[in-house]
Amino acid sequence: MRIRTVEGIPEIQAGDDIASILDSLDSPGADDVVVIASTIVSKAEGRSRRLEEFTPSERANDIARRLCERSGEEKDPRFAQAVLEESTELLIEDPFLLTVTHFGHIGVNAGIDRTNVGDGSDILLLPEDPIESARRISTHLNNRPPVIISDTSGRPFRYGQRGVAIGWANIPATRDWRGATDRQGRTLHVTVEAIVDELAAAANLVTGESDEGRPVAYVEDWLPADLDGGDRLFRAVESDFVRQALRGWRYDS
Residues contributing to the site for a second copy (CB under 8 A)? 1-4, 11, 92, 95, 106, 115-118, 152, 155-164, 173-174, 177, 180-186, 188-189, 191-195, 197-199, 201-202, 204-206, 209-211, 213, 222, 232-235, 240-246, 248-249, 251
Minimum Å distance from CB 72 to a second copy? 16
**Is the CB of 136 or the CB of 196 nearer to a second copy?**
196
Half-sphere exposure of 194 (CA within 13 A, CB side): 14
**Is the CB of 142 or the CB of 251 nearer to a second copy?**
251
Minimum Å distance from CB 15 to a second copy? 19
Minimum Å distance from CB 140 to a second copy? 25
**Packed helices 58-71 and 77-85: angle between N→C axes, nearest 10 degrees:** 120
Minimum Å distance from CB 184 to a second copy? 5
Which of 52, 120, 117, 112 minimizes the C-alpha distance to 85?
A: 112
Q: Which residue type, as a one-letter code, is found at position 211?
A: D
**Is the CB of 58 or the CB of 183 nearer to a second copy?**
183
Minimum Å distance from CB 55 to a second copy? 26
Backbone angles phi, psi at 105, to 5 degrees: -80, 140
**SS3 assignment, position 205:** helix
d(CA 196, CA 89): 24
Contact criterion met (CB below 8 Å) for 61 and 77: yes
**Is the CB of 135 or the CB of 177 nearer to a second copy?**
177
d(CA 1, CA 191): 22
d(CA 203, CA 147): 12
**Is the CB of 54 or the CB of 218 nearer to a second copy?**
218
Q: How many CB atoms lie within 10 A of CB 97?
A: 22
Q: Which residue type, as a one-letter code, is found at position 137?
A: I
- Report the relative pairing of strands 2-5 and 216-220 from DSSP bridges: antiparallel
**Is the CB of 30 or the CB of 245 nearer to a second copy?**
245
Minimum Å distance from CB 152 to a second copy? 7
